[in-house]
Structure 1
Amino acid sequence: MTKKTKNPTQSIKIPYLIILSCKICALFSKKLVTKFAAKLFETPIKHKIPKRELEMDLKSNQKSLFVPSIEKTVITYEYGQSAKKALLVHGWSGRGTQLFKIADELVKKGYLIVSFDAPAHGKSNGSTATMADFIAAILEIEKQYGPFEIIIGHSLGGMSVLNALKMGFKANKAVVIGSGDIVQDIVDEFIAKLELKPEISLRLRNHFENKYNLVMADYSAYKAAKTIDIPVLVIHDQDDPEVSVKAGIHIHENLSNGTLFLTEGLGHRKILGAQNVIKKTMEFIGAS
């Protein structure tokens, strides 16, 4: 009998109980449902580390790093031994070991890998996080562990990498895989998955902008891309159900020194371990 495998392009669905709870909140108060949606939006799911990532976890030198700008502590990983350093950034609900196959290959090519569990992710404390937390952690890690020759990010980690480069992070080359792009699109899609009215999306944006005193649109990846002049490889799967391929294409269009590599049938997470993706990444950074 052939073993059935999960479709790598299948989108993660929000449990119906959560959707129902949102609808009930919306019946009573728009303010209430906005606060509930905001809590959901900022709360990652902590997954148990899978067996495939255990080797990197066990062989890494792990430390706690306090990030003063956000007053949060993250767990960092040092994997391998070299003067050449690469920083790997996981995505939402990910872990510092999630890009282990890329890490393994980079170690073989003579790099020291640094990664981290973002606030409220993996082994790091907390229950909520934002992209600003990811960016702050990246910038603090550069201060404590840098300089880095390479920086690689997946999904929200890709957006965070581009924004960190915009804010002054130094690297020779960058790779973003399955990166989101326009912040408002991400909020809109989240509200649509909760089956709430579009006006709640605008309320949610206003809620975050007032809470954190920022303009969310300023964190859109394509805007950061316009400010970056180092070579950037954008990798995206054409069948990604979580982040549309149009995001990767749009980011590439706004880079002055970008390379676009599109894959098929890998979805949003399987892409991280695909041999053609690893090969392209190594060729791009000159580690082939």
Structure 2
Amino acid sequence: MSKNNNNAIKIPKPILITAKTLEVMSNKLAAKFAMKLFRTPMKFKLPKREQKMDKESKQEFLEIPGVNEKIRVYHLGNSNKKVLLVHGWSGRGTQLCSIAYKFVKKGYSTVSFDAPAHGKSTGKTSDMTEFIASIQELDKKYGPFEYAIGHSLGAMSVLNAIKRGLKVKKAIIIGSGDVIKDIMNDFIIKLGMNVATEKEMIKLFEKKFNTTINSYSAYIAAKEVNIPVLIIHDEDDNDVPVSAAHHLYKHLNNAELVITEGLGHRKILGDKEVIKKILQFTEDEEDNNDNANSV
């Protein structure tokens, strides 16, 4: 499972200059700026590899109650056996296209979406609570789903959604983040800001969401997830350290851990060996069902 690594997304220089300038003036002012950046996804041109799914999928808008935004939903395949796909931060509903087509070929259909403020969905800012709300609404309208597959923040959202009632047979989490405070700390470091600004940012976070900074951390949700979970993470992931995968593995009740090399944070989604492992993990469920029916 080895290929050339990809680089992490870099923050534009003008943003870095603004961040440092505001910090000189006031840590509170800098924290407000950082918080807005933290909740504003970057948008990218649709890659060629995703255009096929964008053209062939059935698409519609779905309003998410409480969020007051409409998400773009992508349906691929016609089977009643459905798989939910959840992209990561600054991703799109077509980002897991390679995985989607393999499941369709295996007789499933997939449901994916652009989270609020991502892709074709409405909104300018977003966060994990809105990812979770989107998953919950999709489950109400199109569920039940056989499996849920999430990447990065999408993986964290899947675990939190399961904790909050999403019913799936198995889950696959790829390049998942873990501790919210660690993610925020990494973001502050990349902005070149100091600890005082980070503390102010944490205060803003906890005030906005009326909860502690780590309440949505993946490892906390993992403790309440009892279904089988496949954890896939690359050793050379520059966006999310592989230590997150090992930490989640310790807190999940029924997990399998696969560590790859040289795929980074995004190329891992299209790797043939990775997808083969995902299919094998879900096919084990089918084999067990067939054996149970034959007894």
TM-score bucket (shorter structure) = over 0.9
1:208 is aligned to: 205
Q: Which runs of 5+ in 2 are unaligned?
A: 287-295
The list of structure 1 runs, each at least 4 consecutive aligned residues, that deviate by more than 6 angstroms after superposition, is none
Which residue of 1 is the match for residue 254 of structure 2? 257
The letter for the 2-side match of 1:232 is V
Cα distance in 2 for partners of 1:97, 1:66 equals 19
> What is the aligned partner in structure 2 of residue 3 from structure 1?
none
Q: Residue type of the partner of 1:210? A: K
Between the aligned partners of 1:28 and 1:216, the Cα distance in structure 2 is: 25
CA distance in 1, matches of 2:58, 2:213: 35
Deviation at residue 9 of structure 1 after TM alignment: 3.5
Q: Which residue of 2 is the match for residue 84 of structure 1?
A: 81
CA separation in 2, counterparts of 1:99 and 1:216? 29
Measured in 2, the distance between the counterparts of 1:71 and 1:259 equals 37
C-alpha RMSD over aligned residues:
1.3
Equivalent residue pairs, number: 283
Give the aligned partner of residue 187 of structure 1: 184
- SS of the aligned residue for 1:218 comes to coil
Matches of 1:36 and 1:25 in 2, distance apart?
A: 8
5+ long unaligned stretches in structure 1: 1-5
Distance in 1, Cα, partners of 2:252 & 2:280: 19
1:60 matched to 2:57: yes
Match of residue 120 from structure 1 = 117
Give deviations 1:6-59, integer Å, cap 9, x for gaps: 963422221222111111001111111011101110100111111111111111
| Residue of structure 2 in register with 1:153 after alignment | 150
SS at match of 1:208: helix
Once residues 161 and 272 of structure 2 are traced to their aligned partners in structure 1, the CA distance between those partners, rounded to angstroms, is: 27
Residues in 2 aligned to 1:142 and 1:87: alpha-carbon distance in whole angstroms: 9
Shift of 1:215: 2.1
CA distance in 2, matches of 1:12, 1:58: 27
Please give the TM-score of this superposition, normalised by the length of structure 1.
0.96
Q: Kindly, what percent of the aligned residue pairs are identical? A: 54
* Higher RCO structure, 1 or 2 (CA under 8 Å, sep 6+): 2
Return the TM-score normalized by structure 2: 0.94
Task: Give the 3-state SS of the residue equivalent to 2:145 in structure 1.
Answer: coil
Give the conservation status (yes or no) of the 8 Å contact 2:5–2:236: no
Range moving further from structure 2, 185-194 or 55-64: 55-64
Give per-residue Cα distances to partners, 1:184-215, cap 9 Å, x unaligned. Answer: 00000000001110221121111011122222
Query: What CA distance in whole angstroms lies between the structure 2 residues aligned with 1:239 and 1:8?
Result: 7
